[in-house]
Structure 1
Amino acid sequence: MHDLVLHHLLVHDSLDARGKPDAFTAAMQTAHGKSGVAIAEARAFGLTGNLDPFLFPALKALLGETEALITHSEIGRSRLEQEFPGRPVLQMGLPVADPGPVDRLKIREKLEISDGEILMMHLGFLTPEKGVGAIIGGLAAARSAGVNARLVLVGEDTGDAELKNAAENLGIAAAVTSTGWLPWDEMVTAPAAADVGVVLRVPSAGETSAAVVRFLACGTPAAVIARRQFLEWPEEVAPRITPGPSTTAEIARLLIRISKDGDWQTRRPNARAVYENGHTPQQAAKAMVDFLRTLN
């Protein structure tokens, strides 16, 4: 279980793929009783809300026949044990490919980042939940305070005019760049160039962020949203950003803090150590094999 929300999958399977609203209603009733039926009936009339999947995750509708479950966080394990009492649940680290030895200075040079610049990096897709607007606002505030900081977006390049206009209106267009999706060997090592990654995700489906693990694998601390499963990362390598109106200000304060913290780079070995303690593919494979051997 990467996500703890399966509502969207149920919608796709029952309605989009098979066109069976009765099956959707029955499944929502199984998962959420009368409230689930009400949600299904509202959808039949074209009434849905952005938070429906998060408030009605429909776990029991799709996982009722499972014999065992695997998830990546303590919150995920607790939630699954609550939903499915007595069912074996394994909590294991989320594995990502090991980037191996990386030449950080060479990667920064390729991205045209100078030694004196503080690089904040966003990795992956640019969905509304990722809070890129707040990230750009925080960058602008930090730069206005005299911090020589840059933002590089690695991954999805939407060509979003609104995003570009926001950077231009704040006077930081030259400090925000996008690489688009890089070749795989460059994608897994790019996070090494950053002084800090940033992973904001509100609302969250309870997933453990692969982006966070990729930053840590490269020895880069990653600022995370201060809620739920993100709080399970050690704060030393995953500084916390409060969700809500203060997000922009907290990003600015973090960049200012990095600019004044002569010991910030000493966090890099600890970030890498978190990755090595349970998030390598080899460790994940062993954890799953050992777990499967315990099942009857």
Structure 2
Amino acid sequence: MQSRIEKTLANLKSQNKKALIPYIMAGDPTPSVTVPLLHKLVAHGADVIELGLPFSDPMADGQTIALADERALAGGTSTRQAIEMIKEFRKTNTTTPVLVMGYLNPVEMLGYDKFAALCKDAGIDGVLLVDLPPQEAGDFPKALQADDTNPINQIFLLSPTTTDERTDSVIKNCSGFIYYVSVKGVTGAASLDVDEVNAQIARIKAKTDIPVCVGFGIKDGKSAKALASVADGVIVGSELVKNFAECGTDEQKITQAVDRLLAKMDELRAAIDG
């Protein structure tokens, strides 16, 4: 049975459209913001949503998202609470795919089986654990795929420096889509070479039919449009998350930040579709 992610990306491909995948951090800037914002992201063009699981040492993330981790943790958002937010979202949205992105330590503290069970119960569609390479995943992918009625995709990263051997390993173990890191560096990095990304995606697509979505370094409609022309979807995180940097718990500032974030979503959606 196809997952929601697989169905969504296949449907977009049949319409010659590309996915817009926004990333936000669960619990940032305050826990009460997240669920309403998930719904607003859908209303402003999100095809799939990536929700960050707060962690104290986010090695793949630049300063913008690392600070979002700190804000979410300071506000009391745990891995369990982040998953509960998706469960709340699912009460009124059963169609938009949601994947969680995080790190291995909190998952190991819960236990793989418990984490997988919580994800299934909440209606989560994909899991990306940055520091869990495919060769060390063990039975975790099987635990995620165990329920045929709600299969959960395990998503892995490829980057400009990935070897052919690792690429083959990711293709063998990945489902849903491959997350291609478009730059050498952390989230929010500056330098983006579209021609190089195009060449790398062509290399990946020569080996697999799994969709390839691109993240890291996408800052505006122009870069989103350029990458959407070569990939199956674009993932935008830091450019959205940065709006919450100075909000604190001030409700007016949070409302203004959400408005800016959604305006950026509109820009990205229009550029990708245009």
TM-score after normalising by structure 2: 0.29
TM-score after normalising by structure 1: 0.27
With a CA cutoff of 8 Å and minimum separation of 6, indicate the structure with the bigger relative contact order.
2
